[in-house]
Amino acid sequence: MTKVKFLLVLLSLLGLLGCTPEYNWRELSVADDRAVVLFPSRVQTEQRTIRVEGVELVFSLTSAAVDQSVFSVGYAPLSPELDSAQTERLVRAFAVALAARVGQPLAPQAVNGEVFELESVVAGQASRLMGRVLTHRGMLIQVVVSGPKKSLSKENAVEFMRSLVLR
């Protein structure tokens, strides 16, 4: 019986080693309740008016940081007067801006609302950026996680990206 207890304690300790105290996942509603996302720490939201492709948008950015990694969801309500071509141009412009941020060409799936991953070197460190730009119920939504590969595991990046649930 002592061996069983020892093994249970050992397994519990090993399980705790896999936990990172910096990551304290919490569910948060974003984009005026059109989506829910798991953030790894406390968030901040900022808002400003931007002009993209000749369209003025009130863009909100909800983000959380863990070490040097940033997890964010940006969103802007779209005018019902925008046609589908204008909306597609906006999605493309946001995706292009993300790719340009890391000096990479645009991934083809980036303009289809799918998750894309880009790798680069930032400040001498191998880095990753995962993103997704889409529209949903009159809202442009941009989900992005980026950071140095040494501190941003692929698993945590994928967890964040996969956690997006559209309502």
- Cα four-point dihedral sign 48, 52, 55, 61: negative
In a domain, 129, yes or no: yes
Cα atoms in the 13 Å half-sphere on the side-chain side of 162: 6
Q: What is the pLDDT of residues 33-92, one digit of tens each?
A: 999 999 999 999 999 999 999 999 999 999 999 999 999 999 999 999 999 999 999 999
Phi, psi of 154, rounded to the nearest 5 degrees: -60, -40
Domain holding 48, by residue range, is 23-166
139 is written with which tokens? 């809202």
In a domain, 93, yes or no: yes
In a domain, 11, yes or no: no
- Total number of domains constituting the chain: 1
* One-letter amino acid for residue 83 of the chain: D
Q: What is the pLDDT of residues 17-47, one digit of tens each?
A: 444 457 999 999 999 999 999 999 999 999 9
In a domain, 65, yes or no: yes
In a domain, 13, yes or no: no
In a domain, 59, yes or no: yes
| C-beta atoms surrounding 32 within 10 Å | 13
The residues that bridge with 80 in the sheet, in sequence order, are none
In a domain, 30, yes or no: yes
- The Cα 122–Cα 59 span in angstroms is 26
**b/e per residue, 82-117, with b = 16+ CB within 10 A?**
beeeebebbbeebbeebbeebeeebbeebbeeebbb
In a domain, 7, yes or no: no
Q: What is the pLDDT of residues 119-148, one digit of tens each?
A: 888 888 899 999 999 999 999 999 999 999
CATH of the domain at 150: 3.40.1000
